[in-house]
Amino acid sequence: MKQFYALLVIAISLFVAGCAEGTQDTQETEEVFPHTEINEQFVYEPFTYPEEWDVITIHKDVDLRYQDGDNPENHRYAEVPYRYTITFGEEAGTNETTTEEIDEYNNQQHIQGESNRQVYYHDYEKRYATLTMSRNGFIHILKDLDEAEQIEISGFEAYLAKQDNQYLGNFYFDDTYYDLQIYEDADVQSKEAAITLFEMLVGQG
């Protein structure tokens, strides 16, 4: 009996240690770019991406909560975005887009009652993939397409479709809708490679 309790204590200790390590890995991921640009109240699975890729753009979309027709500067928007869109690629050697230009774009969007905001932008040479994470549904619904194939990611339903030289993906997990578009520049040569990339980018790899 003593041996049984000793083994039970060891098993529980290993389980707790494993959970703590997983939590620490998640916390470390959330503390690096681009995760630092995502509102901490926005629910998503912290993702990874190939080391040779760069983040080239980040957009967010916010709901208009109050519209002031006389003074559009007083429009009010939700603090927590309902959608983030992140594009990966190869950075250009220099970035000619300034923070002032981004601020001006966002200011005009605010005044005009538009939802989209530019969070980050770097000039680029190539685009590899775009990941969209949304609380409001998919951007492109794939399941009804003839070329769409139902697959599993971590035991959950997902869809993958190949169109021309691009792959498209849909995945729903924990109340968040993930759209993925993998471009030709990513040079993904097989469905298996596309699925592996898909898993990484939705935090299931």
Q: pLDDT in tens for each of the 205 residues of the chain?
A: 445 444 444 444 444 444 444 444 444 556 899 999 999 999 999 999 999 999 999 999 999 999 999 999 999 999 999 999 999 999 999 999 999 999 999 999 999 999 999 999 999 999 999 999 999 999 999 999 999 999 999 999 999 999 999 999 999 999 999 999 999 999 999 999 999 999 999 999 8
Enclosing H/E stretch for 181 = strand 176-182
Per domain, the residue ranges of the chain are 1-31, 40-201
Enclosing H/E stretch for 189 = none
Instruction: Look up the pTM and report it.
Output: 0.85
Cβ proximity of 160 and 195 under 8 Å:
yes
Q: First vs last Cα of the chain: how many Å apart?
A: 40
Q: Quickly tell me which residue has 């995502």 as its tokens.
A: 38
Cβ proximity of 171 and 203 under 8 Å:
no
Q: Which CATH number fits domain 40-201: 3.30.70, 3.40.1000, 1.20.120, 1.10.3470?
A: 3.40.1000
For residue 76, which amino acid is it? R
